[in-house]
Structure 1
Amino acid sequence: MSSLLQLSRAIDRLSEFVGRNVAWLVLAAVLISAVNAIVRKAFDTSSNAFLEIQWYLFAAIFLLAGGYTMLRQEHVRIDVILSRFTRRTQVKVEIFGLVVFVLPFVFAVIDLVWPLVRTAYVSGEMSSNAGGLIRWPVYALVPLGFTLLGLQTLSEIIKRAAYLGGQAGDPAIKTGSKSAEEELAEAIRAQAEGAKR
């Protein structure tokens, strides 16, 4: 199990690295969008390439950050139902869900999309819009993003199995920095305390 936990930690580091760097794509998308809007209003001109790169960046943010989202325990959960069970039962249900639903879905998506990526690359498929971009890079984001999600799913399964075996702590405990909601709650509390003084 120790070698599997090492693999899990390596996958977690990869997800952390990808997630933190993908966050910069949000800034790039905002800047491109702002420049495109300014140019369109000020000079009455636009470029389909700039519009499409915004879509590509959104796709990259959404697809590549899936594993990071799972690592940070920010994905959609069914806690309303699971909260009635013991923690060990919850972990068993989580393992079941990851193995029976998430991993097959990941493999199915990669299997279905990969031929499209290959065909678009070989044919040099371009956007049908005038001045549009080539399509294969955005198509390639799908199998890449789902591969990262599949790896993180494997890591989560390993951590949960280790927890059940008493070799690791509870994998549902969030690690790292505070969430945006926690930071906002602290700021509101501090402001309220400052107003009382």
Structure 2
Amino acid sequence: MTLLLKLSQLIDWLNERVGKGAFWLVLIMTVISAGNASIRFVFDTSSNGLLEIQWYLFAAIFLLCAPYTLQKNEHVRIDVLSGKLSPRGLAVIDIIGTLFFLLPMVVAVLWLSLPLVAESYRIQEMSANAGGLIRWPVKILLPIGFTLLALQGLSELIKRIAFLAGRIEDPNSKPKGPTPEEQLAAAIAAAKAQEAK
């Protein structure tokens, strides 16, 4: 179990680095979007390549941050059910969900995406739009993102089993204290109170 927990930590480290690195793509995408809109407004011209790179970056953000989201336990849950379960019950549900839903779906997407990526690369597929971009770099994000998601699913499975075996603390527990939303609300309230003085 110790070796599996070390593997889980390695996977967590990898996906945290990839996820945090992908955050910067949001800034790049925003700058490109603002630049493209400004050029369109000022010069009445645009580029399909600039529009497509925004789509590519959005795909990269979504696919590369999904494993990080799963790791941080910020993925969508059915709160009506999960809110009523004990930590052990929630761990069992997570194990079942990972084994019977997450991992089979990830394997299916990987299996189906690899031939598409290989064919796109082989023919050097280009966008059908004038001035568009080459397609295989965005298509290769599918197997990369879903491989990282499969690894994170494996890591979460290891952690849930280790928790049930009493080897680690509850991986679903969240740090106590105000949420980011509560911190923002408090900062806004403090700013308004400062203005009122």
Q: TM-score, normalised by structure 1?
A: 0.92
What code does the residue aligned with 2:122 have? V
What code does the residue aligned with 2:23 have? A
Cα deviations by residue, 1:110-130 (Å, 9 ceiling, x for unpaired): 101110000000001000011
Q: Which ranges of 4 or more aligned residues in structure 1 deviate by more than 6 Å?
A: none
Distance 1:142 1:179 in 2: 32
Q: 1:195 to 1:28 in 2, by over 3 A?
A: closer
What code does the residue aligned with 2:159 have? K
Distance 2:187 2:26 in 1: 24
Give the gaps of 5 or more residues in structure 2. Answer: none
Distance 1:53 1:158 in 2: 37
Shift of 1:187: 2.1
Q: 1:196 to 1:81 in 2, by over 3 A?
A: farther
Helix, strand or coil: the match of 1:76? coil
Distance 1:196 1:45 in 2: 47
Q: Where does residue 164 of structure 1 map in the other structure?
A: 164
Shift of 1:141: 0.7
When structure 1 is superposed on structure 2, of 84-93 and 5-14 the one drifting more is: 84-93
Distance 1:6 1:12 in 2: 10
Distance 1:65 1:17 in 2: 10
Give the gaps of 5 or more residues in structure 1. Answer: none
When structure 1 is superposed on structure 2, of 166-175 and 8-17 the one drifting more is: 166-175
Q: 1:14 to 1:178 in 2, by over 3 A?
A: farther
Helix, strand or coil: the match of 2:140? helix
Cα deviations by residue, 1:24-56 (Å, 9 ceiling, x for unpaired): 000000000111111111111111111100000
Distance 1:178 1:62 in 2: 26
Distance 1:132 1:178 in 2: 45
Distance 1:53 1:168 in 2: 43
Shift of 1:86: 2.4
Q: Where does residue 35 of structure 2 map in the other structure?
A: 35
Aligned pairs for 1:111-130 (under 5 A) are 111-130=111-130
Q: Where does residue 79 of structure 1 map in the other structure?
A: 79
Q: Where does residue 145 of structure 1 map in the other structure?
A: 145
Q: 1:186 to 1:165 in 2, by over 3 A?
A: farther
Q: 1:188 to 1:47 in 2, by over 3 A?
A: closer
Percent identity, aligned pairs only? 54
Helix, strand or coil: the match of 1:65? helix
Distance 1:66 1:54 in 2: 18
Cα deviations by residue, 1:59-102 (Å, 9 ceiling, x for unpaired): 00011100000111110012311333322122111110011100
Q: Is the 8 A contact 2:87 2:172 kept in 1?
A: no
How many residues are matched? 197
Q: CA RMSD in A?
A: 2.2
Q: Does 1:24 align with 2:24?
A: yes
Q: Where does residue 180 of structure 1 map in the other structure?
A: 180
Shift of 1:173: 1.9
Q: TM-score, normalised by structure 2?
A: 0.92
Q: Where does residue 62 of structure 1 map in the other structure?
A: 62
